[in-house]
Amino acid sequence: MEQLERAKLARRIEEDLEQAISRGEIHPSGVLPPEQLLARRYGVARGTVREALLRLAARGLILQRQGRKARAVPLEYALTLESVGVALHARGGARPERLRLLEGYFELKRETAVALLVRACEHASKREFEPLLDACFMLRDGTRWDDGSNAWVGREFALLRTAAAAANRPGHLLLVQSLERAFRAMEEVLRPLLMSQAVLHWANRTMDWLYDRNVEALSRDLPPLLMACDEHVLGCLTASERPVEHSGPG
């Protein structure tokens, strides 16, 4: 029980330091406070702080060298797929360079989705293919009856995982899981911008193409439908950066 509680505290400290790094709140030199000072700040044992720092180091967000203070890695070198959310939350909001990272995330997700659905259509047996049809139906149903919470997001990633299984692509399954973890780190920002009706549209079309195993339509027509959803989100983030124009007194 004590070990579990320590792990929870270490995770909380890890998340807090990650946010401080992303927002540029660490010392300008990038040096983190000493372990002893962090332990006092968080009211925990020094070993708990050390565990949090080890986690950050394992993720490439800080550098640790014996006899030296831990140092934050510059964001452009620290980023991985699963830490794209760190860039999105970084100080200054969704600045152009961060939007480009998000655009790259969406592009990878689109390419993965199309490649897996096409591969499943080409190679999956009828028994292997049925769960994919069910997953697409669940996504379509979730978007159709959306209450504004966009709870269907999990069903979209479930569709991609099912497609990876049907396509017999275990490496892509790992990629889908990383894509989902990356989204979870950004969902506070992204979820309110998603359009359930646009997703319903491509899910409907995809259902038809999957039933017919229409590889040509999936390859040709699905990418622009997915891109329309992504461009809406990127457009909303770009618009949020524009300064508000105030008209003078009439």
By CB atoms closer than 10 A (0-12, 13-18, 19+), residue 177 is middle
In the structure, what pLDDT confidence band is assigned to residue 22 with cuts at 50, 70 and 90? low
pLDDT score of 243 more than 60? no
pLDDT, averaged across the chain: 86
| Per-residue pLDDT at 24 | 67
**Phi/psi at 213 (nearest 5 deg)?**
50, 50
Beta bridge partners of 71: 31, 63
| Selected residue with higher pLDDT from 167 and 86 | 167
Domains of the chain: 2-75 (1.10.10.10), 85-241 (1.20.120)
Beta bridge partners of 72: 62
pTM: 0.71
**Phi/psi at 47 (nearest 5 deg)?**
-65, -30
